[in-house]
Chain A
Amino acid sequence: MKERGGTNGGERQAPEPVFGDYSLLPGTSDECFAAGAEPHPYAREIVRLIDNVGRAALKARQRLTTGAFLKGGITFNVYSDKKRGERIFPFDLVPRIVDGAAWGRVERGLVQRVAALNALLLDIYGEQRIIKEGVIPESLLLKCPGYLPKLRGLAPPSNVFVHIAGIDLIRDSKGELLVLEDNARTPSGVSYVLENRAMMKRFLPYVFQHAHVRSVDEYPARLRDALRAVEPAGCDDGAMVVLTPGPFNSAYFEHSFLARRMGTPLVQASDLFVEDAKVYVKTTAGPQRVSIVYRRIDDDFLDPEFFRPDSLLGVPGIMKAYAAGNVTLANAPGNGVADDKAIYPYMPDVIRFYLSEEPILGQIETLLCGRPKELEHVLAHLHELVVKEVNGSGGYGMLVGPKASAREREEFARKLRGNPDNYIAQPLIQLSTSPTLIDGQVVARRVDLRPFVVTGKDSWVLPGGLTRVALVEGSYVVNSSQGGGSKDTWVLQ
């Protein structure tokens, strides 16, 4: 089938090209077009294929995807309206295209980064050489809320801490892909990668078939095999389960999706219990041993005996089972220290320290306000920097210097001098754009990319990842809660 709108044989009118009047944002790179509005060489064929679909047909297909997501129940829950608050994550049918030749370097860079994160965690919960040798100051470590000193001396099965990593990447105005942040706890979004791909195959089959895109479907099997490979010794008949907070959690669809696609039970904390430092699941045939828990709940709610005695959530005693080496928890507890914003600036040194290699992927130049010299520089350049609280998230406690007023900057400078340790500063990055269909027109919208790295005995990188797009004109915010959507990511063969 050819994706042509409304014509069926006989005289065909050429459809209106999709990218006919696409224009770039000044000072910003684009994932599909080079300066001068010529497609990048690797994207040329796909631009031609999508142009042939025609604007009207593309728009019609875009409309159909909404119903398809809804019917498939591919939704996320909105907390405020518990009972029936299911929304779809807005989806854009124009794919983000990734040069296959350049992807190999990204893959190596991601694997390297995950290896360093893992070595860092093993060391921090072990000997702490990196502190002793002065690469990371001890005071900084002790201030990280994700650091759990109680876990020192405990190593997870096969020494793997970060089984699933989501390393967020952005492309700057020079066209360089940079690491924006590491997610080593419970990165989410992979179900949308697979479901977005299914939508592309359904609604643009001809384009897809001729684009030669690397497959993403093996993710669940890769994850299952990776987790099986780091199972505790002597638990061959133990079950693997996915642990969810429950059906009202905003990411419940993803939890259920992964359980389904890995062929494992989806459990809630109340389905599990611990006896003699072993984990069991309650079944209609009595208790069954569990050896691997892919948990999608935060450390704080994992085990009330260990983390929060006031909490009724979690599986009492599961940390005892973990300490006894009787269960693999993925990701490992305590990982929050590795993806802390205060640790991020040290990551290039962390890579050099453990791997004796130069970092393959760059990252955003970051100033630690806790260092007097850097603080001085930040204070002198507030008008061109973004200053963030190390433990802030969602854009709170942040100053976007270029957009702030002189008075706002002055006030912020006062806070900064009062508690410099609490802040980092970065230049404002012009996130790259990707062509996106808005109201029937293809326009430039900013994107980021979350690739997923799965680690068992080895690391494997999902080709592509989740591309999030800021659907609002000029916006840098790709979060779904603030007008963000997603699109399929095509790594070409």
Chain B
Amino acid sequence: MKTYDLAIIGGGLVGSAIAWGAARAGAHVALLDEGDAALRAARGNFGLVWVQGKGAGMPAYAAWTQRSAQLWPELRDALEGETNLRLGLEQPGGFYFCLSEAELEKRASLIQRMSHESGDIGTRVIGRAEARAMVPGLGTEVVGGTYCPMDGHVNPLYLLRALQASLRAARGDYLPNRHVTQIVPQAGGFVLSCGDERLLCQKLVLSAGLGSRDLAPMVGLDMPVQPLRGQILVTERMRPFLHFPTHNVRQTQEGTVLLGDSHEDVGFDTDTAIPVQQQIAARNMRVFPALRDATLIRSWSALRVMSPDGHPIYEQSAAHPGAFAAACHSGVTLAGAHALAYAPSIVAGVLPDQLLPFSSQRFHVQAH
């Protein structure tokens, strides 16, 4: 039976980043992944490394997000050095554009509230003129927005590929087509069952997205995640015109433009729906009118992994120490922190203090 220091269950962005970070920290790692047709939230990711607006009401999440954005260049340098892939990380700052005064006011007060709650990271409100000066091509309906110098974007598919390639080079085992059906804690570790195969590990991480929900109780964890669909539209390649990411439009390294986003409570349905796409198209056209003539060549949807309050779940099992939870819907933004902060801690068998507020216990706190 194969034996590992650490088994990571789920080979998406969260699992792959943790596996890579753990191998780098010296652990003998197995990354278990499903097959080509799995749900794979990782393939649906927009690609933002996004800080502004994250963690309203939960300063710990705002802090964790900021830390990740700061760690990202180190992650990028390591991966690009090890793999020859160009991840396209750019952190020029990002915009959230508003199409009415009411929207702008609401956004401004959110940012102000967060500045008091979790500190001022430089996010500022900008008016129509300044927005237009910074971003050519904005429509006349854009009244302004918020700009945060910490925001950025990256190619999420190349990130996943680089993490897995680099993991393999570090002699971590990438084990695809493994659907873990059972985890049995035992003295000194855990036995994982996938089909007829058994695997032994000292520690494990549940990062299986929506699949974590059913595995969690087996190791004394609680990961009550639900799907929330998001749809993305992609255009043909265009010559570079958008040099900053915005919260729902960004232009990739190859020149394609990605348009989002939607939040649809539709269970496990990964089909694409016209009315939602129409809204995405219509809204983004108001922000960048010249997109009107851009050709759409692809659309896709993916299921976000949502906890009850939308914030991540990180925890070490009290009943079975060595079993760790990792669930979030911002696998790209948090890759820096997952790889360079959470992973080394997991290898040492410790949950970072910074992550104590993310325990699933918070979902059971009674209101007084």
A and B associate in one complex: no
Residues of A within 8 A of B (CB): none
